[in-house]
Amino acid sequence: MTSLHVLFVDDEQAILDGLRNSLRKERKRWEMTFALGGQQALDAMKQSPADVVITDMRMLGMDGAELLRHIQRDFPAAARIVLSGQAERESIMRALPVTHQFLHKPCDGDTLRAVIEQTHNLHKLMQNPALTALVGKLERIPAVPTTYTELSRLAQDPKADASSFAKVIEMDAAVCAKVLQLVNSAYFGLGQKIVSIRPAVTYLGVEIIKSLVLGSTSFSDKAISEVKGFSPDRLQHHSMLTALLAKKIVGNPQLADAAFTAGLLHDIGALVLLHAAPPDYMRALERKKELNGHGAAAEREIFSVTHAEVGAYLLGLWGIPFPIVEAVAFHHRPNEVAPESRPLVAAVHIASGLVEEMTATEPGRSGGPIDSSGLIDASFLRDAGLEEQFKKSRGEAEKLIGGVSDRT
């Protein structure tokens, strides 16, 4: 198995020595390089490109943002992570377009190991060079949204209550408006309107709120809405229905929130492909019609990667929990996952296929009906003993989609 190569960059030798000492147990699993400053880091990358670059933000000469701009341009496949302090907000804003993930200083060894470990898992999961190059070159979909990062940090605080989370969301007017729009939409079917963020947090729960923050941020990009022939609203509609259905059919209550998140974000890679090459993506949509809804096959013909792989790679770089990343990656290929991963992957796979079939003839959709039997892996259902679950899932999908249609 190929070893993961991690490059640590700081302009203080004492900090590099501390990192080297705290991670010495990992030397058998990872190749680690320690560079004193930005220029030394670039020289090291030219000699032996790293898979992951973790850099301090404030450095003399070349700072972290400038270093990562060089790395994005010359080594786009590398995952780019910044260590930053609370007082470095201006620098963070400059680094946003070229950074996949931010870690706050001081960063303990366990957190650092966890981030590197997830990147290692992602490295093994996604071996397609076309994929890493395509995602690595993107500036338009940068780091995980700041609001999501703040909510995640707050979720680790045992003293945090609904008001604490509401204050974070209310600082972002666009996200605040989107969360209220969604919680009051037909998808959730509430009997009364929710007019403030605190009850929305109480009703939905923090994990679902975090998912909505990610989803609403991704789907609201102005450049996407201006691409002729592409409807972000339709994509969001499909994703929301998939999320709600996946949560309902996953079976294990402990996986319910993860199923919702994976369902909501399972097609986020489509936005990446659209950003990367709008004309090519529109060709892929046309080819999808010819293939009776098989969008993944159309994307592979044109891009050599699929939206599932691209989306999973991006979410992994953002630090989204690995089971969700895996569910997104394999929602078109559920037979390729280990048995312990099947429940979550199967829920998203089944939900997405049924929603695609049942909404194919809705107003505004081009093309005719789609047969979900071509989108859902029958051999996987049989081998995994999920045929009865699929029948029940079809009934749940009919109730869900019919209920949403009645309320809109």
Instruction: Determine what percent of the chain is predicted with pLDDT higher than 90.
Output: 19
**When comparing pLDDT for 393 and 212, which is higher?**
393
**Domain encompassing residue 341:** 222-407
Most confident of 12-26, 194-208, 226-240, 304-318: 12-26
Same domain assignment for residues 111 and 240: no
**CATH for 227:** 1.10.3210.10
The pLDDT assigned to 191 comes to 67
SS3 103: strand
| pLDDT score, position 352 | 93
Cα–chain-centroid distance for residue 176? 20
Q: State yes or no: pLDDT of 363 exceeds 80.
A: no
Mean pLDDT score of the chain: 80
Please give the residue that has the higher pLDDT: either 40 or 228. 40
Q: Residue 322 — left, alpha, or beta (φ > 0 → left; ψ -120 to 50 → alpha)?
A: alpha
**Domain boundary pick from 92, 125, 158:** 125
Q: Residue for token digits 């990872």?
A: 30
**Continuous segment of H or E residues that includes residue 387:** helix 387-407
Q: What is the pLDDT of residue 113?
A: 84
* Statement: residue 87 has pLDDT above 80: no
Cβ-based neighbours of 268, under 8 Å, separated by 6 or more? 215, 218, 307, 311, 314, 315, 328
State both tokens at 248.
């309902």
DSSP 190: -
Residue 164 in domain: no
Same domain, 397 and 270: yes
Q: Average of pLDDT values for 339-367?
A: 80
- Indicate the residue among 95, 125, 155 that finishes a domain: 125
Whichever domain contains 44, its CATH number is: 3.40.50.2300
Which pLDDT band holds residue 173 (cuts at 50, 70, 90)?
low
Contact 78, 49 (CB under 8 A): yes
pTM for the whole structure: 0.68
Alpha-carbon torsion 126, 131, 134, 138, what sign? negative
- pLDDT interval class at 67 (50, 70, 90): very high
Helix axes 232-249, 256-265, angle to 10 degrees: 160
Residues 6+ apart with CB under 8 A from 327: 258, 259, 262, 266, 341, 344, 345, 347, 348
User: Which two structure tokens, joined as six digits, stand for 244?
Assistant: 């709600």
Same domain for 395 and 280: yes
Higher pLDDT, 378 or 88: 378
Task: Give residue for tokens 């076309």.
Answer: 130
CA distances to 6, 46, 74, 207, 277 from 43, in Å: 14, 5, 12, 42, 31
pLDDT given at position 167? 86
Q: Which range is most confident: 6-20, 136-150, 183-197?
A: 6-20
Question: What confidence tens digit (pLDDT) does each residue in 108-159 have?
Answer: 788 888 888 777 676 666 667 777 677 666 654 434 566 777 777 787 788 8
On whether both 364 and 229 belong to a single domain, the answer is yes
What value does the mean pLDDT take over residues 308-323?
Answer: 82
Strand (E) or helix (H) holding 321: none
Per the model's pLDDT, the better-predicted residue between 246 and 182 turns out to be: 246
**In the chain, how many domains are there?**
2
Torsion angles phi and psi, residue 148, rounded to 5: -65, -45
Q: What pLDDT does residue 125 have?
A: 65
- Determine, yes or no, domain membership for 316: yes
Domain limit, last residue, from 125, 146, 163: 125
Q: Is residue 251 part of a domain?
A: yes
Q: Is the peptide bond before 106 cis (omega within 30 degrees of 0)?
A: yes
Structure tokens at 206: 């923090």
Query: Is the residue at 131 inside a domain?
Result: no
- Mean pLDDT across 165-180: 76
Q: Characterise 293 by phi-psi region: left (phi > 0), alpha (psi -120 to 50), beta (else).
A: left
Average pLDDT over residues 210-233: 66
Amino acid identity for residue 169 in this structure: I
Rounded Cα–Cα distance for residues 120 and 117 (Å): 5
- What do you get for the CA distance between the two ends of the chain, in Å? 52
pLDDT at 31: 92
pLDDT per position as a tens digit, 242-272: 988 999 999 888 998 889 889 988 998 888 8
For residue 64, with 0-12 CB atoms within 10 Å meaning exposed, 13-18 middle and 19 or more buried, which class applies? Answer: buried
DSSP string, 18-33: HHHHHTGGGTTTEEEE
Residue 49 lies in a domain: yes
144 belongs to a structural domain: no
pLDDT for the residue 249: 92
pLDDT value, residue 7: 96
Q: What pLDDT is recorded for position 331? A: 93
pLDDT the model gives residue 371 = 47
pLDDT band at 37 (very low <50, low <70, confident <90, very high): very high
Q: What is the token pair recorded at 109?
A: 């060894």
DSSP labels for 111-156?
Answer: HHHHHHHHHHHHHHH---HHHHHHHHT--SS-SSPHHHHHHHHHHT
What is the rounded average pLDDT of the residues 199-219? 76
Predicted local confidence at residue 137, as pLDDT: 61
